[in-house]
Amino acid sequence: FFGDSISAAYGLDKSEGYVNLIRERIDSLGLNYKVVNAGVSGETTAGGKGRIDWILKQPIDIFVLELGGNDALRGLPVKSSYSNLEFVIKKVKEKYPTCKIVLAGMMAPPNMGENFTKPFAEMYPKLAKTYNTSLIPFILDGVAGIPNLNQKDGIHPNAEGHKILADNVWKVIEGLL
């Protein structure tokens, strides 16, 4: 799980985060996978591009790429975000050609305006189609904008929200395991 504060379980004990909940589910099913949480709070797609070589030092069967939310919050150019995500996907495919890649989609806040939010939202399905990756259309589906599922900042899911995120992710990765 290569991501930002969402994967890093910002504001929570790591055990409450969706990545750990996925790990627990995999372990409970007796599946032979080691789950690695490479989530870094505040990470942008450029930061991910800069640290991808570090995570590729270990064998990877399934790579969940969850980046872009901080790019949207900062209003960074969508073309740059696309290029950075594309770079990461290509690096993973180059190093581990049989690795299954899952791209976790994000949406930009509506206050960014349609000229930003529309191309940002289209970026993830376009990348998934171009590089034949699995896609979680919106990782925060069922959580974003719902106060009782988010922390006080209104951005980061609370423990209950992370349970929903784990379900959102599981629906996509279950068939890859």
Among residues 5, 7, 71, 81, which one is catalytic?
5
Write the CB contacts of 26 (distance below 8 Å, at least 6 apart in sequence). 33, 35, 177
Q: Is 153 a catalytic residue?
A: yes
CA 152 to CA 34: how far, in whole Å? 32
What residues does 38 pair with on adjacent strands?
A: 2
Q: Which of 69, 37, 81, 40 is nearest to 138 (CA)?
A: 69
Q: Is 83 a catalytic residue?
A: no
Among residues 4, 7, 81, 156, which one is catalytic?
156
Q: Is 156 a catalytic residue?
A: yes
Active-site residues, by number, are: 5, 153, 156
